[in-house]
A and B are shown apart, each in its own frame.
Chain A
Amino acid sequence: MPLSRRTLLAAAALPAFGARAAEPIVAGVSGPLTGPNAQYGAQWKRGFDLALEGINGAGGVKGRPIEYDFQDSQSDPRQSVAVAQKLVSDPRIVIELGDFASPASMAASPIYQRAKLVQFGFTNSHPDFTKGGDHMWSNSTSQAEEQPNLAKYAAKLGFKRPALLHLNTDWGRTAKDAFMAAAPGLGMQVVAVEGYLAAEQDFRPTLVRARDSKPDGLVLLSYYADGALISRQTRDTGLKLPILAGTSNYSPKFIELGGQGVEGDWVMSTFFPGDPRPEVVDFVARYRKKYDQEPDSFSAGAYDTMVLFAMLCDKYGATREGMQAGLLDIKDVPSVIYGKVAFDPATRRVQGATYKLLQVRDQKFVVWDGTAPAAG
């Protein structure tokens, strides 16, 4: 069900009325609610709302409810810079979250930097994002850290000559380079690299090309929607290669869209519903209850970010200066994706995500039992 702004604000405001009409603390969000990336904006909202339900339900931060002001940018740089000016000149806003894609996020960075408003890009894995200024922070998993983990799992699965398919965007390119750097040290030789265009749906020729290099496995650096398409078409064309996909494929949609075509695929994930950590158990249970679906890595990232924001407000004061000082200092923030979050003050990023390997079995993600695929 689409959540309207009104129900959202009402939901956020209710506990406040119950206690006392305290001034809310507001995070500005710049992201896509319409346009081609709107699905990711919708996932963000689910993550944010779930986190706020918990935070505001428990009385907010020092009696003040937390709200967010989601400004639609369509992830378009022309609109994200206007949104940035709007948010920096709004005295209620103490932190900015987003934008989604690099062109929109990084075009707005100079404005946030000048206004000394923290721009917290929780999906921005572009290595230069946090170099835009000392107020650009990100808890997005770094590809430099993630890809060696994926490569290790590829080696454990017995891949010696994998073919790599990646989304040909800044994200996919960063991921590919990091994987390629890690592969030789693990005894793997990547035999084919295919960068495909965003919004592509037909991968059959690409797969023939990959097949002709005689790989022993496919590695997908894709988002869940294209990952599912590739895996399906791999099976449709009769290729029996084992498939390993990166964390952004961890989504119930991967299975929904892939169907039998993703059965048996391996997907690396930073979290997993069966994870015994209390943060994960709580997050997954409440997410299922509220939305009647499984969470994915995008909603988990948004959830983590809102939890972090509440903690920053609580410990360092709900001011712009408080956010910047807090990010430099904060430690041990509970997180679904990372064990505990702390930022490296030099890179303004988070290290130490935990990576698990899952497998699609009977149309469900289960933890990989350790058996390598039969040599194909």
Chain B
Amino acid sequence: MKTYDVIVIGAGNGGLAAAANCAKAGLSVLLLERHNIPGGSASSFVRGRFEFEPSLHELAGIGDEKEAGTIEEVFNRIDADVEWCRHDSTFRLVVPAKEGDTDTFVNEDGVLVTVDARMPVGFEAFSRKLDELVPGSYSSCRKAFDLSINMFKAFDCLEDLSKLPGSLKDVPDIMTMVSHTMKEALDDLGMPKKAQDIFNTYWCYMGSPASQFDFLYYLCCLHSYVRSGTGIPKYRSHEMSLSIDKKIRDFGGDIWYNSEVTKIIMKDGKPAGVVINGEKEVYGKQFICNSYPYKVFTELMDKKDVPEMQLKMLNARKTACTLTTVYLGMNKTKEELGIKDYSIFIAPDSDSDKQYEAAQNYFSGYCIINCLNEIIPDCTPEGTSQLFLTTMTFGDVMKDIRPQDYKKFKTKVAEDMIETCEKALNISIKPYIEEIEIALPPTFARYLNTPLGTPYGYMLEKWDSMLPRTIQYIKDQPFDNFYFCGATQERGDGYGCAYYTGEKAAGLVIKKMKEGK
């Protein structure tokens, strides 16, 4: 039996990027995936005459004709073929008025709101718009973007891990940003509270509210969105995953689907192989794992083989948020429905910490509504459109739901989400639903095999934020031939983050194999 140079466990975004890069470098690679298609979250599914995007809201790393974006470069490096669609927008935040709110107005849709912010692309335009909505916020917003332009120096420092953390001392603002939360930093910069709330709208893409999340990383993400706008693949994210699948094969790598790793074989205190579907053994020298540390250490290894520190890390960390998504195939166009934006965030309260608190239960009133036709007009047949509603929850929100209650519960949550959108946008959705699919945490648990069904990894808390995770990455790995990649690692969730960790793990493995270790 052949011993592979590298076995990659899981064909999520991280695993795909890892396998492609290892194969490109000439290593013999076996990529194992329990599902029958690649991508994990990056996939698609068909209902009737609609093909739905299951998870991707927007990619911030798709550049323009002049300059490729960071995510685009991941694909360019391996010459994977994806047709990108671009859109010059960031987000629209709508906060409907509640009883007792004083600062209200009727917006363009005829809805009484406290916030309606449609934010443009471009640092200057974004800052001006924010100032128009909340007078007196321009200079703090501009300052933040100035900082964000400088912050890429920090990432240059990260390139050479041997010099860390000392080398960061040369960029004092970076050290300030990374060690303070969004709230602390924006307060210090003098941004009015209401402007902060609008500025912080993307917090849910990272899964930690303003009082928890570090300013550096948030700014980094917002910077990418505001700089380049939104990108999306033409044929749903299944296209991205299949394009990498093809390159792995072209580079001579093997991919086995329906092939779940059910055990890690240990030899001399470190991984030497895996058992697939409980029956077939395959051996490898290096391992890159896109599955969750929790699954690996509780299900794939004997307790005696698990390094003590790994158990401690599992116990210290909090599983990140879970998502609920409603996919709607509509028998009306977006114009007929009255939808004017690609991405609208509807929040019960503009404050991210209050949104976080509310999201401990179903249904908090927090809902993101996306309309893919805004970017890809012909993504559905003529006269139709597709919508995609998302809300998030934290913790074991399914605890009182029995199997026989599940269908009714799902329908109720979906109905609440749809009605929230109808009210907040003063539009009608329900009568025009031709296809509907509802995904709750059990759906994601089924397809992603993650604890609680989270797609987000471990919560990026104040004490366990991106930069320390990055600096500690190698020390955090359980064995010297076993590297994790994906949402559980330094950058948390997000397509770009997962590809990054896959490429990084591949780089380390390639280096080792070349050095003959």
Decide whether A and B assemble into one complex: no
**Chain A residues within 8 Å of B, Cβ to Cβ:** none
